[in-house]
Amino acid sequence: MKKVYASFIFTALLASNVVTAKVDQRFVEENGLNIPVGVKNANITKEVFNKVITDVETIYVPIVSAKGGKLVVNRNWDDGTVNAYASRSGNTWNVAMFGGLARHETVTPDGFALVVCHELGHHIGGAPKIRYNTWASNEGQSDYFSSLKCLRRYFEFDDNVAVVAALNVPVAVQKACDEAHPNILDAAICKRSAMAGKSVGDLFVALSRGRAIEFSTPDRTVVTRTNDAHPAAQCRLDTYFAGALCEVDKEEDVSNTNVNTGTCTTANGQKIGLRPLCWYKP
């Protein structure tokens, strides 16, 4: 009888996990930080907040529609929550963006765009998916998708060479992007995407009060099983950088079942731009 009861409890817990996973996928762990409208050190205004979201929607509403979903981005500018969420309700694929996150002092407009891309990535970022979840790409894959595909589309028609010239891009990032992308325009997008990743990486550090992260100090952790949860801040920065470096074209879509499709993997013969082993087990 005890074994039957234990089995029932275990099954119920799994079911509970399934429901929870389907409710929402958040950008960072829950935190008590609340940043109200009017804070003075924000990099993003309400106008920029809305423009970034509109620009991403313009690109991805038809793409999501072709995949059978209706993309709805909820714009909660007045809400001071420092987070973002993705959820589904039937064919409605929701993304919730909050002004509190946009107003954090570490978040740049490009960094905010990356967050929108990440939440979108839960819906269309491909494999690996979260265990016990039928729709959501896991956290690491959503990070990877954001710079591998989404930001490349978002930045595509900007003068990225000029934008990057105004950024303080580390020499190591410049060199790596130039080597990975011989085309100067592709290299500029790589550098810009990397710096967007640094913006939100610094947000993770600020929220966790952890150690500073740098492109020159990659996470050396090697997982024994793919981690579906939020990786450490350095690992997430490494993932954004890897997505930016990957040579695979943004037009080559990812797959919901095959981790090699549309990505950089050793199985495909690539050596750079691979998902970092600090969260991903090939």
Query: Using CB atoms within 10 A of its CB, is residue 208 exposed (0-12), middle (13-18) or buried (19+)?
Result: middle
Task: Enumerate the domain spans of the chain.
Answer: 2-268
What value does the mean pLDDT take over residues 36-62? Answer: 97
- What's the pLDDT tens digit per position in 92-150? 999 999 999 999 999 999 999 999 999 999 999 999 999 988 899 999 999 999 999 99
What value does the mean pLDDT take over residues 246-269? Answer: 98
pLDDT at 47: 98
pLDDT at 208 over 50: yes
Closest CA to 222 of 186, 151, 276: 276
pLDDT at 4: 36
Which amino acid, residue 281? K
In 228-248, which positions are buried (b, 16+ CB within 10 angstroms) versus exposed (e)? bebbbbbbbbbbbbbbbbbeb
pLDDT at 22: 40
123/170 Cα distance (integer angstroms): 32
Neighbours of 124 (CB within 10 A): 22
What value does the mean pLDDT take over residues 252-275? Answer: 98
- What's the pLDDT tens digit per position in 84-108? 999 999 999 999 999 999 999 999 9
The Cβ-side half-sphere exposure at 215, using a 13 Å CA radius, reads 23
- What's the pLDDT tens digit per position in 161-184? 999 999 999 999 999 999 999 999
Give the DSSP H/E element, type plus range, for residue 180: helix 171-180
Structural contact between residues 194 and 242, judged by C-beta atoms closer than 8 angstroms: no
Closest CA to 254 of 94, 112, 69, 123: 123
158-238-274 Cα angle (round to 5): 90
Residue 148 Cα distances to 118, 204, 244, 247, angstroms: 11, 20, 6, 9
DSSP 232: P
With bands split at pLDDT 50, 70 and 90, how would you rate the model's confidence at 32? confident
pLDDT at 211 over 90: yes
What's the pTM? 0.91
Whether the ω angle into residue 128 lies within 30 degrees of 0, i.e. cis, is yes
pLDDT at 10 over 90: no
| Mean pLDDT rounded to a whole number for the chain | 92
- What's the pLDDT tens digit per position in 230-254? 999 999 999 999 999 999 999 999 9
